[in-house]
């Protein structure tokens, strides 16, 4: 939708046709895109028009049908996560939550996405149902013993693969439209921000509720955990999605602020951290636990870089943020090089294991992605390139992560005999 608005910005009649074809989608895309097109006279007119329409309908955006769809999705997802209690088997003995928690959450999100659509495509619903169903069968017939590193790696990579599958639903199976992939990333950033707020509010409510009942000698902890907390946890992403769909401006103004605040803070922290490693003589080459923490930090920073780019891409002239992103990318690359050298050293000393294969592969993927992002950010900072180029690079690279997660879930365990 954003690309179409860009193309039609000098054609008022075509803009009107776009708006009439999908009013909600047009509104969200236009308001996100406005900083880039504000110089056009027609953009100011549409901004006033859409802001007025939003104010006029803000109190009635969530209709009864929308609420019913939300409740249906939450109830359905809650029933799925309560399968052990409904059928009377021990979830710990069967590793139910390790295997199925991510399946339940992402299937619930996909179910809600289909419920919310104005146009229902049967083939898409059947395809998604088959993919989730086959994955559920596969993950639950795997040997359920914790001694296998390859099985544990399946549990770790499964949520990432399901996230990619949910992304396919989110972009409406339009694989060739790369702008939709970036919309998906931005949506996830907003989802994390809003989900965190909901979790904090829910935690406060739970604490107050349990405290009040404890004061009158009623111990409801187990009941509350089994039927409120568990149900609520799997419903949080769906509720957050509902809020973002119904009130798109709720998180769209918060996420960019968070990105602009935390990106420079993380950059300073990483620089100090690297200096501290050198001063303290900490050795990632022989300290396995330190190397694990090192890699987790790397993945977290990589996610922050992508999130920050997605929140910066709508504003063309943010030189400070663009410079900070370049510096953060360079520092992250240095960390990645240290991690890669440590992994290669350990491979040479101790040989291949499932965990080392996984860490090496993920680091190489991140390294390749960071190189491409760094090149684009260099061109943006020193050659006045458009930051949209970074967005396109990130979008184009997403399938690489998808194929990697599929390999880790469905191929690696069989290659190494479930070691």
Query: Total structural domains in the chain?
Result: 3
DSSP symbols for 339-407: HHHHHHHHHHHH---HHHHHHHHHHHHHHHHHHHHHHHHHHHHHH---THHHHHHHHHHHHHHHHHHHI
The verdict on 309 and 392 lying in the same domain is yes
C-alpha span between 318 and 328 (Å, rounded)? 15
Would you place residue 403 in the very low, low, confident or very high pLDDT band (cuts 50, 70, 90)?
very high
This prediction's pTM = 0.79
370 against 245, higher pLDDT: 370
The DSSP output letter for 283 is: -
pLDDT the model gives residue 74? 94
Residue 15's closest CA among 25, 24, 26?
26
Lookup result for tokens 């509010």? 201
Virtual torsion, Cα 304, 305, 308, 313, nearest 10 deg: -150
Instruction: Give the tens place of pLDDT for each residue, 121-176.
Output: 889 999 999 999 999 999 998 876 667 788 888 989 999 999 999 999 998 888 88
Q: Which residues, other chains included, contact 96 with Cβ-Cβ below 8 Å and sequence gap of 6+? A: 83, 84, 89
C-alpha span between 399 and 32 (Å, rounded)? 25
Looking at the predicted structure, is the pLDDT value of residue 233 above 70?
Answer: yes
Which of 248, 278, 295 delimits the end of a domain?
248
For the ranges 41-45, 62-66, 157-161, the one whose mean pLDDT is highest: 157-161
45 contacts 202 by C-beta, under 8 angstroms: no
Instruction: Give the tens place of pLDDT for each residue, 97-106.
Output: 888 999 999 9
120 against 215, higher pLDDT: 215
Tokens of 16: 């009107």
The verdict on 88 and 232 lying in the same domain is yes
pLDDT the model gives residue 59? 45
The verdict on 73 and 55 lying in the same domain is no
Residue 336's closest CA among 365, 363, 372, 369?
363
pLDDT the model gives residue 36? 61
The verdict on 240 and 260 lying in the same domain is no
pLDDT the model gives residue 386? 78
234 against 292, higher pLDDT: 234
The verdict on 231 and 292 lying in the same domain is no
The verdict on 182 and 259 lying in the same domain is no
H helices, E strands: number in the chain: 19, 0
The verdict on 116 and 198 lying in the same domain is yes
C-alpha span between 76 and 68 (Å, rounded)? 12
- Average pLDDT over every residue of 307-329: 76
- Is residue 278 packed enough to be buried (19+ CB in 10 Å), middle (13-18) or exposed (0-12)? exposed
Which structural domain, as residue segments, surrounds residue 95?
64-248
The verdict on 188 and 244 lying in the same domain is yes
The verdict on 202 and 263 lying in the same domain is no
Q: Which residues, other chains included, contact 397 with Cβ-Cβ below 8 Å and sequence gap of 6+? A: 368, 369, 372
C-alpha span between 18 and 1 (Å, rounded)? 8
Looking at the predicted structure, is the pLDDT value of residue 243 above 80?
Answer: yes
C-alpha span between 199 and 232 (Å, rounded)? 9
What long-range pairs does 410-419 form, CB within 8 A, spacing at least 24? 410/138, 412/150, 412/153, 412/354, 412/357, 412/358, 413/142, 413/148, 413/150, 413/151, 413/153, 413/154, 416/150, 416/354, 418/142, 418/143, 418/148, 418/150, 418/151, 419/148, 419/149, 419/150, 419/353, 419/354
For the ranges 252-266, 327-341, 400-414, the one whose mean pLDDT is highest: 400-414
* Helix H or strand E segment including 117: none
Which of 199, 227, 248 delimits the end of a domain?
248
Looking at the predicted structure, is the pLDDT value of residue 408 above 90?
Answer: yes
pLDDT the model gives residue 51? 67
Alpha helices in 281-318 (DSSP H): 288-312
Angle at 254 between CA 63 and CA 245, to 5 degrees: 25
382 against 57, higher pLDDT: 382
Angle at 324 between CA 321 and CA 327, to 5 degrees: 155
pLDDT the model gives residue 54? 60
The verdict on 276 and 149 lying in the same domain is no
The verdict on 307 and 384 lying in the same domain is yes
The verdict on 107 and 56 lying in the same domain is no
132 contacts 165 by C-beta, under 8 angstroms: yes
Overall residue count recorded for the chain in this entry: 419
The rounded mean pLDDT for the chain is 83
Which of 248, 276, 295 delimits the end of a domain?
248
- Average pLDDT over every residue of 186-207: 90
Instruction: Give the tens place of pLDDT for each residue, 11-27.
Output: 777 788 778 777 777 88
Question: Considering all CA atoms of the chain, what is the largest pairwise distance in Å, rounded to the nearest integer?
Answer: 69
pLDDT the model gives residue 60? 42
Looking at the predicted structure, is the pLDDT value of residue 119 above 90?
Answer: no
Sign of the CA dihedral with 43 first, then 48, 51, and 56 last: negative
DSSP symbols for 202-253: HHHHHHHHHHHHHHTT---HHHHIIIIIHHHHHHHHHHHHHHHHH-THHHHT
């Amino acid at each position: 939708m954003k690309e179409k608005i860009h193309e039609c910005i000098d054609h008022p009649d075509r803009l009107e046709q776009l708006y009439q074809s999908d009013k909600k989608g047009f509104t969200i895309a236009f308001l996100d895109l406005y900083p880039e097109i504000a110089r056009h006279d027609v953009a100011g007119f549409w901004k006033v028009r859409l802001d007025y329409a939003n104010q006029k309908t803000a109190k009635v955006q969530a209709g009864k049908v929308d609420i019913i769809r939300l409740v249906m999705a939450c109830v359905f997802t809650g029933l799925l996560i309560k399968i052990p209690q409904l059928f009377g088997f021990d979830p710990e003995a069967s590793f139910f939550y390790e295997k199925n928690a991510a399946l339940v959450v992402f299937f619930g999100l996909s179910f809600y996405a289909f419920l919310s659509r104005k146009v229902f495509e049967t083939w898409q619903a059947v395809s998604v149902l088959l993919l989730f169903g086959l994955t559920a069968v596969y993950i639950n017939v795997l040997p359920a013993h914790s001694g296998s590193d390859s099985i544990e790696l399946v549990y770790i990579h499964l949520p990432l693969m399901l996230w990619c599958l949910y992304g396919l639903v989110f972009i409406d199976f339009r694989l060739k439209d790369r702008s939709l992939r970036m919309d998906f990333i931005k949506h996830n950033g907003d989802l994390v921000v809003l989900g965190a707020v909901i979790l904090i509010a829910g935690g406060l409510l739970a604490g107050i509720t349990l405290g009040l009942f404890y004061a009158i000698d009623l111990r409801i902890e187990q009941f509350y955990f089994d039927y409120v907390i568990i149900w609520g946890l799997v419903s949080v992403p769906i509720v957050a999605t509902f809020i973002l769909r119904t009130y798109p401006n709720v998180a769209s103004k918060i996420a960019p602020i968070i990105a602009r605040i935390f990106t420079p803070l993380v950059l300073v922290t990483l620089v100090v951290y690297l200096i501290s490693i050198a001063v303290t003589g900490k050795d990632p080459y022989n300290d396995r636990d330190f190397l694990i923490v090192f890699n987790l930090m790397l993945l977290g920073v990589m996610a922050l870089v992508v999130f920050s780019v997605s929140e910066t891409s709508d504003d063309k002239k943010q030189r400070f943020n663009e410079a900070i992103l370049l510096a953060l990318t360079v520092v992250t690359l240095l960390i990645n090089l240290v991690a890669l050298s440590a992994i290669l050293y350990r491979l040479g000393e101790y040989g291949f294991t499932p965990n080392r294969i996984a860490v090496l592969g993920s680091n190489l993927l991140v390294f390749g992605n960071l190189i491409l992002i760094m090149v684009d950010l260099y061109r943006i900072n020193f050659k006045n390139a458009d930051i949209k180029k970074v967005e396109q690079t990130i979008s184009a690279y997403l399938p690489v992560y998808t194929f990697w997660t599929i390999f880790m879930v469905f191929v690696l365990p069989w290659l190494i005999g479930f070691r």
